[in-house]
Every structure is written in structure tokens, then in C-alpha cells.
Amino acid sequence: MKKFLVLVLAALMVAGLAVTVQAGEGDPIKVGVCIYKFDDNFMTLYRQELQTYLESKGAVVTVVDGKGDQAEQTNQINSFIAEGVDVLIVNLVQSSAADAIIPLVQAANIPTVLINREPFVDDPSQWDKVWDKVCYVGADARQSGTFQGQIIADLPDKGDVNGNGVVDYVMIIGDPENVDAQYRTEFSIKALTDAGITVNELFAQRGDWDQAKGQELAATALAQFGDQVDVIFCNNDGMALGALQSIKAAGRTVGKDIYLVGVDALPEVVQLVEADEFTGTVLNDHVGQSHKAADVALEVAGGTTPERIYTVDYVKVTK
Ligand code: BGC
């Protein structure tokens, strides 16, 4: 009797297994999403839009927080692999980790869409060497830097608010490992010099995309250089929101005796541009980027070979 039961159970298990496997075709696509950290103004908007959009397409989505720790994120990727997701969308903690992550997902045969932190920018030929089911969806950070510089160069006084003939600036940098930080720092200033403007860097330090650090660094720079500061460039709006608090605390007024530009066009910053409290920002299109990443992920999960890189345009935002 006991033996019979065991046999029946075994048969049921096999049948159950067969049913699951057969149902595979019609099953919703399982997407694992790894975000470098949840506590980031821009990536919060991005991940919420990404999840909503993927779910609207019928996908089953799990989003995890890498907490700014690459080792933690690599574990999360391994867990998704063990779970058997159909496709991964990964916002690397460190762009350089692409070298280790790509072989991992390839060995598990899980197509992967990298987002927001572009790998191999220094050497695009690296793309030819990696698995063709991996791609990148993002934006060209050079464009955002150029737009920041142009916003300042297009002002009536070309950014020289104290009229000493030179644009003296403070640069608050994101995470310097990230190409968005490198290019925004470089190309914002290049746009000024390309417009024939003389520049002078007073202060440049990393704020890791973080509002509190932006506030701290701007306070330090303003205490040190006072009225000499014409412009505060911030690699993102989060840090610029922090800088604005310090500008006000120092008794300065954006648009009157100092200029301030960020990148992202966070909704609260767009309102501040409207209210003349920010000189400008640059739209980092989280809607366009997340939708593109989701569409590409669902296509590669269905067997399509993606292009290597998809980019979404930035847009200048001034009053
Ligand atoms: C955004 C930043 C964000 C960073 C995260 C950048 O593209 O402009 O706001 O912190 O991505 O990697």
C-alpha cells in the first residue's frame, strides 16, 4: 500500500513537472532588476517607472537594492540566476564590474540589459568581445555636460556674474568611477571654453550623487571663496538641491549673484527652475530610458539579439 502511494505521488510529481514545463510557453516573462542603490533620487524615479511599465506588459518583476555594494549586487544576480529569471536588467554598482558580470550571466544563458552606468566607454571595442545577449541602454553623458555649459554660456553675462572677466566655478562631482560624472565634469566646461569664455576652477570634489554631500561641499566652497564663485555646476540635481540650501544659507541668490545648474530634471527642480531658484537643469529621460530598457529586455527574453547600445537624448531645461 505504502509502495503504491509512493508510486502515485511520484507519478503526480512527474505529471506536475510536465505541466509546468509545457506551460512555459505561455508563462509571463520573469524579469530580475538590480538597482545600484534605492537611495538615489534619479534611480528611484527610474526604477518605479521601469517596474510599472514592465508589469503593464504582463511581466513578473522583482526589483532588488544593491545598497551601493558590488559584492551584494553580485550575490543578488546569482540568486536571480538560481531562481531562473528569463532576463536581467542591471544598474551596476561599479561599471568596471561588467567584466565579471557578463561571463556570469552568459554561463547561465540569461540575457542582460545594463542600464544607467555605461561600461566600456573608454574602449568600445570591448563590446565585440562579450556575449551578444548583453546590451546597454542609457544616454550619452557628453550631451548632458554640453547642455549644462550652454545654459551658462547663453546667459546675458555668459556666467560671469561678478563681472571680473572670468567664469569662476565650483564643480560638484558624482561618483567619479561613473562615466556620467566624468563626462559631465569635462563637457560642461568644454562648452564654455568652446564659446570663447575664460574659466577658472575654484573647487572640484566628489559628492557621490548625494544631496547631503552636495550641501556640505557647496557650503565649504562658498565659505572658502565667497563672492568669487560665479557658478556651481553639479553633476546631478540631487547634489544641486543640496547646493541650493547652502547658497541660501550663505545669503546668496541664484540668478542675481550666483548661478546653479544640475542634471536630471527631477520634478522638484523643474519647479525651482520655473520659480527662478535654479538657473537650469538637463532632462535625464528616465521614462524614455526605462521604457527602452524594458522593451529590449522583453525582446531579448523572446530570443532577439539586441544592438549593443541604445541611447535616449537629454533635453535642456531652462525657464
Ligand atoms: C544621474 C544621477 C544618478 C546616477 C546614478 C545619473 O545618470 O544623473 O542622478 O545618481 O545616474 O548612477
Q: What angle do CA 220, 142, 42 make, to 5 degrees?
A: 60
Backbone dihedral angles phi then psi of residue 196, each to the nearest 5 degrees: 80, 15
Tens of pLDDT, residue by residue over 63-89, are: 999 999 999 999 999 999 999 999 999
Ligand 1 test: best mutation among 35, 209, 289, most atoms within 8 Å of CB? 209
The DSSP annotation for 249-270 comes to HTT--BTTTBEEE-SB--HHHH
The DSSP annotation for 103-157 comes to HHHHHTT--EEEESS-SSSS-GGGGGGS-TTEEEEE--HHHHHHHHHHHHHTSTT
Q: Which pLDDT belongs to residue 179?
A: 95
From CA 48, how far away is CA 36, in angstroms rounded? 14
Residue 114 C-alpha to ligand 1 middle, in angstroms?
14
Q: What is the DSSP letter of 307?
A: P
From CA 306, how far away is CA 135, in angstroms rounded? 7
Q: Which pLDDT belongs to residue 284?
A: 98
Q: Count other C-beta atoms under 10 Å from residue 187's C-beta.
A: 22
Residue 40 C-alpha to ligand 1 middle, in angstroms?
8
Residue 4 C-alpha to ligand 1 middle, in angstroms?
61
CA 114 to chain centroid, in Å, comes to 10
Residue 43 C-alpha to ligand 1 middle, in angstroms?
7
C-alpha grid cell for residue 111?
540575457
> Which stretches within the chain are classed as H helix?
2-23, 41-56, 70-83, 98-107, 141-153, 179-194, 211-225, 237-249, 267-274, 286-301
**Using 50, 70 and 90 to split pLDDT, how confident is the model at 91?**
very high
Q: Which pLDDT belongs to residue 15?
A: 41
Residue 318 C-alpha to ligand 1 middle, in angstroms?
20
Amino acid found at 44: T
C-alpha grid cell for residue 65?
537594492
Residue nearest to atom 10 of ligand 1 (CA): 209
Tens of pLDDT, residue by residue over 19-70, are: 333 335 679 999 999 999 999 999 999 999 999 999 999 999 999 999 999 9
Q: Which pLDDT belongs to residue 265?
A: 98
Residue nearest to atom 3 of ligand 1 (CA): 42
Tens of pLDDT, residue by residue over 131-172, are: 999 999 999 999 999 999 999 999 999 999 999 999 999 999
Q: Which pLDDT belongs to residue 54?
A: 98
Percent pLDDT > 90 in the chain is: 91
Which ligand 1 atom sits nearest the alpha carbon of residue 264? 8
Ligand 1 test: best mutation among 36, 40, 91, 142, most atoms within 8 Å of CB? 40
Which ligand 1 atom sits nearest the alpha carbon of residue 41? 9
DSSP run (H or E) holding 45: helix 41-56
Ligand 1 test: best mutation among 264, 266, 285, 312, most atoms within 8 Å of CB? 264
Residue 139 C-alpha to ligand 1 middle, in angstroms?
11
Residue 13 C-alpha to ligand 1 middle, in angstroms?
48
**CB-side neighbour CA atoms (13 Å) of 63:** 18
**Using 50, 70 and 90 to split pLDDT, how confident is the model at 238?**
very high
**CB-side neighbour CA atoms (13 Å) of 208:** 10
Q: Count other C-beta atoms under 10 Å from residue 185's C-beta.
A: 23
Which ligand 1 atom sits nearest the alpha carbon of residue 144? 8
Q: What is the average pLDDT value for the chain, to the nearest integer?
A: 93
Which residues lie with the beta carbon below 6 Å from any ligand 1 atom?
Answer: 36, 40, 42-43, 116-117, 178, 180, 209, 236, 238, 263-264, 284
Residue 18, pLDDT above cutoff 70: no
Residue 236 C-alpha to ligand 1 middle, in angstroms?
7
Tens of pLDDT, residue by residue over 166-198, are: 999 999 999 999 999 999 999 999 999 999 999
Residue 260 C-alpha to ligand 1 middle, in angstroms?
18
Task: Tell me the domains of the chain and their CATH numbers.
Answer: 27-139+286-313 (3.40.50.2300), 142-283 (3.40.50.2300)
